[in-house]
Chains A and B, each alone.
Chain A
Amino acid sequence: MDKVVTVLRVSLGVLFIYASLDKLLQPVAFSEMIMGYRLVPVSLVTLAATVLPWLELLVGGCLIIGFLHRSAATWATGFGLVFLLAKISVILRGLDVSCGCFSVNGGSSITWSDIPANLVLFLVALVVLLKGPDKFALERTLVCQSTTASQ
């Protein structure tokens, strides 16, 4: 089971890093993407576009190496839930918005067919959070080493 959790944790981390790259390179286009969702107050759109890609990148990095595991996994679960609810909200309000999940340059509009993938992302993040750091996580290795050293 530990290996499965490791694979899920690392895959989730890679996904988060991949998702952050285009947003980091094109902050203005990402701002417009956030604006299209009509969920964030206009005066906070730029701030959100400034912080979110870096947070995704750091969360992804922490998940891959298994450092600050619970904090990163909590952020990942929160992101998963917020993205899921945001997409459902966009569909229910009939807005013509492209996802912007991995690329900020257009793409097809959000539909119900996008929801299962987001649901899976949320569930994977939740599993990683609930299972805690696996034996391959850096955090666990550090704890083991400090325990051994104190004995």
Chain B
Amino acid sequence: MNSPRDTLLGMVTLFCLSLSLGLFTRLFLPEAPPLFTAYHGSVSEEVQIVDPTGAHRIFEEGGAVFVDARELERYEYEHIPGAINLPVDDFEEHKSELIYLRTAHQVVVYCEDIQCGASRKLLELLTKNQVRDLVLMPEGLEGWVDHGYPTLGGRDG
């Protein structure tokens, strides 16, 4: 078992065995996310997930509050028009905003891009604080900008 070929064969065996065990154990995980689709994190089933087009439709209809979960500096640089800043790390300092959010028709939460975790963390906190009608835009501001939708600040000046 010392030749490079044997080593490679052993590595492939270990990988295939791991894959098989992983796939097998998924059968017993009711909350297992789909294997190859874009992963949106462990958000509550009550949270509606929309793409930038869906979020823009909500934006056009009016009545919804957009919440930017990123840090203040990033928010100040560029954000969706009308969005309020609620950085997940400073949630306790912004608790006064909750009264406003509880009365909103819909609350659309976003952060930087599809890989940032801030919006999902903020959704958890908002759910715990009785904010309802929550919507997540996983693609974040990056997806919004890529679709050519308006922003304040940033690239548009």
Contacts and interface: CB of A to CB of B under 8 A. Distances in A.
Contacts of B33: 28, 31, 46
Contact of A43 (B19, B32, B36, B120): B36
A44 B38 CA distance: 8
A31 B9 CA distance: 28
A29 interface: yes
A54 B21 CA distance: 7
Contacts of A83: none
A133 to B, nearest CB: 8
Nearest to B21: A54
B39 A54 contact: no
Contacts of A51: 15, 18-19, 22
Interface string B12-49: 01110111011101100101111111110110000000
Give the interface centre of B9, B13, B15, B29 by most chain A CB atoms within 10 Å.
B15
A75 B117 contact: no
A74 B6 CA distance: 12
A50 B35 contact: yes
Nearest to A40: B115
A53 B89 CA distance: 29
B11 interface: yes
Contacts of A45: 39
B41 A46 contact: no
Given A68-B1, A72-B10, A55 B42 contact: no
Contact of B11 (A28, A53, A75): A75
Interface string A37-67: 0100011111100111111011100100000
B14 A55 contact: yes
Contact of B42 (A32, A58, A62, A132): A32
Nearest to B17: A58
Q: Give the interface size bracket for B toward A.
A: 35 or more
Contacts of B15: 51, 55
A74 B11 contact: yes
Contact of B10 (A35, A50, A71): A71
Give the interface centre of A32, A54, A62 by most chain B CB atoms within 10 Å.
A54
A9 interface: no
A92 B38 CA distance: 26
Contacts of B117: 32, 35-36
A57 B115 CA distance: 27
Give the interface centre of B14, B26, B37, B117 by most chain A CB atoms within 10 Å.
B14
Interface of B: 1-2, 6-11, 13-15, 17-19, 21-23, 25-26, 29, 31-39, 41-42, 89, 114-115, 117, 120
Closest 5 CB pairs of A and B: A71-B10, A50-B22, A54-B18, A55-B18, A68-B10
30 contacts: A27-B26, A28-B31, A28-B33, A28-B42, A31-B33, A31-B41, A32-B41, A32-B117, A32-B120, A35-B117, A42-B114, A42-B115, A43-B37, A45-B39, A46-B34, A46-B36, A46-B37, A47-B36, A50-B22, A50-B35, A52-B18, A54-B17, A55-B14, A70-B10, A71-B9, A71-B10, A71-B14, A72-B14, A75-B11, A75-B14
